[in-house]
Structure 1
Amino acid sequence: MKYVVGCTEDKRGREAISLALVLAKSLAAPVHAEIELVHIIRGAAPGDALSGSERAYQDFQLHSAQKWMDRALALVPSATTGRTHIRFADSMAEGLLGAVSEFKADLVVVGAASTGPFRRFTVGSTANALLHVSPVPVALAPSGYLPPREITRITCALGTRTGAESVLEVAVDSAAIRHVPLRLVSLVALDSEAHKDKGTDWARTHARQALDRAVEGVASRTIVTADVAQGRSIEAAIEGLEWDESEIVMIGSSRLAARSRIFLGSTANKMLRVLPVPMVVVPRFHVPVPAAASLAHI
């Protein structure tokens, strides 16, 4: 497994590193993760600068970034493979996507915008761009994220639209390889206007059907449970659920997403406003790289 981590010289960068390390640490042998710490400097590389002043400024940023990235690398335990990279690009999102392609990464990890409320998400420009075009899952660390010693549960939010099966498959494999329980949350009752008149019983039926599929897919590798999120709004439903501070949430992409690409839908956007734990958004019809396909997804 290979994780690209968007590193910035602030708490957002440290929170992204913390989440990547927790995800990596939770993997069970023989699977392991390599951490690629990537810092993006906006603009041209010094050698491509159009003026002397621009060249001097980009050189200054490069030297400053190298010092900070050395400190970032020191956060990676010796038992985990970690490397630092500094790239020049027009935007952080563009640079991170280039790194994902270059390193054939399985996951990209970023932090919430620095203006976000404690333990909540405010999606900044970088995360927003990644959440609409990334070809690999995107993991988001909430503002104020305090990394637990280990991941204790994975929650998977499911709907009924085409493509829901792919996020279920990713969640099942991710929970199994970490030997942690998987909780399925049905958002069907809140999914669209068409489902509102079907009521909670219909939503519970859907949750049970999803549970049965997951139990079959997990092949006794972990415990699977199901729950139904209910409330006047998606935000209220999410807040009404019980959350473990050491869990992560997985959700699929909108039906508007191109195949094997992320597009954050309205449900996920509303979840982000109140979710107190990290979220992993999975591309539509996600297919992992062959080397990791039989072992894990994130």
Structure 2
Amino acid sequence: MSGQQDVRVLVGCSPDERGDDALALAALVVRTAKVPLTGVNVRPTGWPARGPGSVDAEWLAYLKERSEEALARAETRLSELGVPKRSMEFRAYAHRSSGRGLIEVAVDVGARLIVIGSAPRGRRGRVAIGSTADQLLHGSPVPVLLAPRGYAEEAPERFERLTVAYWRRRDVDGPLAAAARVAAALDLPMRLVTLVPRPPGLAARLRDADRLMARQVAQAEEDLDRAAASLDGGTRVATEVAVGSGITAALGTVDMLPGEVLACLSSHEGPLRKVFLGEGSGKIVRASPCPVVVLPRSVAEA
């Protein structure tokens, strides 16, 4: 990835804590990968007033001013975070939907990654999915990287490891190989983790519940070994099986480094060429204590 100027990062710029978290994470990506960045503020299109087709000029002027202020603030903050000015460009974009607006700009500039922050109502250290993230996580044609709330206050100096939430399925090889290429390009070790949820009340319902869980863990370990062996030998790969009373509890047993990034694959039921967050992947995103990148199933083609 390093030095490939056709690879561009797009970051959503908003004048609040959510914007600060996204900028801190995007700056770390740009400094590490040495790629350019486009900062975007999506503002509302305005409200019709005084007759069909007309719009309140004062309201539009106010929205434009706010957008320009957000972008100026983002440029200053990114410079403070060590992003060279020559690597930055900024756009103000009017759209009725912030998430769809970011997608349109990403397609226009050829961005390969969209970075946003958590919804402000979320728990600190976790990702809350607001309307912008929801639109991106059900329609982006490129990977979406989400910063947990408060990430700007505790952002690490560097990335340390890429962990992939892995389940064996027929369309997993492409995204897995793409994740391995990212890890190799950033010189990061890679870890494959399979979460094995234990159904509540299993022991009370089944006499051989422990044996059943042991079989599931053994199968997960076998799948992980096969997946790790399929990757390029130049990628450092560790594997781990985590068991818990549910996906959230299982993920809670997994140790995360300060510079960890968690990769999550789109749901198999979603469109091939777009991110689509299913129930399981949604739980992983919300439970993760570190940034999460959600990969479309077609990401290998990029």
Normalised by the length of structure 1, the TM-score is 0.86
Q: Give a deviation string over 1:217-266, Cα, whole Å, max 9, x none.
A: 2322x421000010111111011111112110001111111111111011
Q: Corresponding residue for 2:261?
A: 248
Higher alpha-carbon Rg: 2
Tell me how far 1:209 sits from its aligned partner. 3.8
Pairs aligned (count): 278
Cα distance in 1 for partners of 2:170, 2:53 equals 49
Range that drifts further, 197-206 or 270-279: 197-206
Q: Does 1:178 align with 2:192?
A: no
Letter in 2 for 1:6: G
Kindly indicate whether the alpha-carbon contact (under 8 Å) linking 2:19 and 2:117 is maintained by their aligned counterparts in 1: yes
Cα distance in 2 for partners of 1:21, 1:214 equals 30
2:119 is aligned, of 95, 98, 113, to 113
Q: Give a deviation string over 1:14-35, Cα, whole Å, max 9, x none.
A: 11111111122222xxxx3111
Tell me how far 1:198 sits from its aligned partner. 4.7
- 1:25-64 equivalent positions in 2, closer than 5 A: 25-27=31-33, 32-44=34-46, 50-51=53-54, 54-64=56-66
Tell me how far 1:38 sits from its aligned partner. 0.4
Tell me how far 1:51 sits from its aligned partner. 3.5
Letter in 1 for 2:173: E
Cα distance in 2 for partners of 1:63, 1:20 equals 24
Kindly indicate whether the alpha-carbon contact (under 8 Å) linking 1:168 and 1:214 is maintained by their aligned counterparts in 2: no
1:88 is aligned, of 87, 94, 99, to 94
Cα distance in 1 for partners of 2:161, 2:169 equals 25
Cα distance in 1 for partners of 2:38, 2:225 equals 35
2:138 is aligned, of 132, 142, 151, to 132
1:24 and 1:126, CA in 2 relative to 1: closer, same or farther beyond 3 A?
Answer: same
Structure 1 counterpart SS, 2:69: helix
Structure 2, unmatched stretches of 5+, are 1-6, 201-208
- What is the aligned-residue identity percentage? 28
Cα distance in 1 for partners of 2:94, 2:131 equals 17
Q: Corresponding residue for 1:190?
A: 197
Cα distance in 2 for partners of 1:218, 1:166 equals 13
1:68 is aligned, of 67, 70, 75, to 70
Tell me how far 1:143 sits from its aligned partner. 0.6
1:111 and 1:259, CA in 2 relative to 1: closer, same or farther beyond 3 A?
Answer: same
Structure 2 counterpart SS, 1:21: helix
Cα distance in 2 for partners of 1:78, 1:85 equals 17
Cα distance in 1 for partners of 2:105, 2:281 equals 25
Tell me how far 1:80 sits from its aligned partner. 6.2
Cα distance in 1 for partners of 2:37, 2:212 equals 46
Letter in 1 for 2:274: R
Tell me how far 1:64 sits from its aligned partner. 2.6
Q: Does 1:284 align with 2:297?
A: yes
2:167 is aligned, of 159, 174, 183, to 159
Tell me how far 1:161 sits from its aligned partner. 2.3
Q: Corresponding residue for 2:4?
A: none
